Amino acid sequence: MDRPTDPLHAVSTRPIDTLEGRPLLLLLHGLGADEQDLLPVGAALGLEDAVVSLRAPLPWGPGWAWAPVGQDPTRRASLRPAAQAVLDWLDGLPAAGAGTPGRIRLLGFSQGGALALTLLRLAPQRFAAAVVLAGFVPEEQEDDAALAARRPPVLWGRGDADPVIPVAAVERTAAWLPRVAAAEVRVYPGLTHGISQDELADVRAFLADDTPEAAPLPPA
């Protein structure tokens, strides 16, 4: 490990302190990537949302990780500190006025997708919807009653030729997700561990059609 742990770093399509109630799409990159990785995806969606991409706090190879190196990222405990760091980052936004975003939606890839589902479980009232691409739900179960009562829209997309995500994690997610969310599941033939143009089109349609009421942030 040649770099110290970093606090979360954000890049945004607009100044953080001028969100002015605008809907926010929060991007969560995969293992070994950084805050720049998903920005082209965010730009391609053509949303009115402000788009913010966060960098994970832990160094890993040339990039960053949401779970400590050497821990199994399919286990909830390894991702919970990162989820809390994201909630703390949101709480650190200006508490009133121009810095307060409107509804918040999540888009995570791979480990970032697992983090998105962890965030939904940890604070279901904070997020209006989520997109999980090549991701999975961590295996340790929680009391998901609050999440199941809310049933936020979740798009889960994956390739049927993905060599990275374990089969057990895919099966677990397929069984769990419909119980707690208004789930849309898309499986892309021949897609490995990546994002295809067909998948990107489905993400665009999903987010364009998602019009739930804003979920206000609780006081910091």
Domains of the chain: 9-209 (3.40.50.1820)
- Please give the pLDDT value at position 14: 66
Calculated CA dihedral for residues 165, 181, 144, 41, nearest 10 degrees: 50
- Please give the pLDDT value at position 96: 46
The pTM score is 0.87
* Interstrand relation of 63-65 and 58-60 (parallel, antiparallel or unpaired): antiparallel
- Per-position pLDDT tens, the chain of length 220: 334 344 578 887 766 666 667 789 999 999 999 999 999 999 999 888 889 999 999 999 899 999 886 655 555 458 999 999 999 988 887 654 455 667 899 999 999 999 999 999 999 999 999 999 999 998 866 789 999 999 999 999 999 999 999 999 999 999 999 999 999 999 999 999 999 999 999 999 999 987 554 344 443 3
- Please give the pLDDT value at position 68: 82
Q: Answer positive or negative: Cα dihedral of 124, 126, 127, 132.
A: negative
Residue 41 contacts by C-beta under 8 Å, 6 or more apart in sequence?
Answer: 27, 107, 109, 195, 200, 203
Q: Answer positive or negative: Cα dihedral of 94, 97, 99, 104.
A: positive
